[in-house]
Amino acid sequence: MKALFLAGGRGTRLKPLTDRLPKPMVPIMGKPLLERNMLKLKDCGIDEIVLSTCYKPQSIEEYFGDGSRHGLKMHYASEDIPLGTGGAIKNTESFFEDTFLIFNSDILSDIDYREMLRFHKTKSAAVTIAVTSVDNPSMYGVIEYDQQGYAVSFKEKPQPQEITSNCINAGVYVFEPEVLKEIPSGTVVSVEREVFPMLLHKGYKIAVYKGCSYWMDIGTPEKYLQVHTDILAGKCKIPEIDFSSQGVYHGQNASIHGTAKVLGPVYMGDNVEIGAYASIGPGTVIGSNTRIDMGSRVVGSVVWDNVTVGSGAALYNTIVVSDCHVEKNDTYYNTVAI
């Protein structure tokens, strides 16, 4: 079975994390978000993936190649100019002859894709949309549905007085290939604002799948930090480790000085070096090949790979991007160090 990832966005709201990386490649606990979602799909029986790219496509293609390293078959459909979510889907039409999954590439969720596919078939739907509930849906696409579980209307980023449902589009869809013929070619089209309402108008059945208890749109640095906080708290599960049963995790060849203090939950990648009298955690993620020098303090922060934090430096609720050097005695609060 095949899946399509919409990975062409510029990630403007996530800047400066996306200055050098496309949004789907930002690391989540040491692995690109896109890789984490792909591996979850592989466990559900997906063996072929199409990637729709536009912004910095080379970094995605260089990392995944033909997919063989991940046990997948990969195809790429790169846009010269952004075509919108609907246009990007249309641009990949030739790859799909059967039921397939579509993903916005900036989402992390606990959706059971096998169950979503089963639900889609039982509803005899042309499209199934995963939804999740949020307290304030005004920044998202709100979906209203009937008692049988079929969509009846869509409101994209409604005004507060227009909100009649707190169920929002979770950015995961099941499509039957025949609906692709309804999307115009070679033009900018939004699947949320244009395609879904048009399909409803034409009488297509659009089912609403509600099996989602954890969902995060990793659209801003604040949300990026929050998803790591949720993983460390056990609210969002990752395959490698259960943080509800282990407070401190480190990869291979970690070197932690005997006088350093590590207060979980903390995740450390491979070849991490923690110097004397350093203090790490709680709520901290440290990438591979990173060194935290003597007397430094890192709390509630996410530090990427190949970083050096100088002696006496302090990081609080801060993201440090790869290959960055934090000068000694520098202090960062609630920011991004690049």
Active site residues: 157
Q: Scan for tokens 């409604």, then name that residue.
A: 158
Closest C-alpha to 303, from 256, 277, 335, 275 = 335
Give φ, ψ of 147 to 5 degrees.
Answer: -70, -20
Structure tokens given for 85: 């979510």
Structure tokens given for 304: 């990427």
CA distances from 144 to 9, 156, 198, 207 (A): 27, 11, 15, 11
Rounded-to-integer distance, Cα 253 and Cα 270, Å: 6
Closest C-alpha to 246, from 227, 266, 271, 268 = 266
- CA angle in degrees (0–180, nearest 5) for 67-70-72: 50
C-alpha 114: how far from chain center = 19
Structure tokens given for 27: 């690391």
- Contact in structure between 17 and 55 (CB atoms under 8 Å): no
Q: Scan for tokens 């900018």, then name that residue.
A: 188
Closest C-alpha to 74, from 90, 57, 87, 86 = 57
Closest C-alpha to 104, from 11, 209, 234 = 11
Contacts of 178 by beta carbon, 8 Å cutoff, 6+ apart: 126
SS3 80: coil
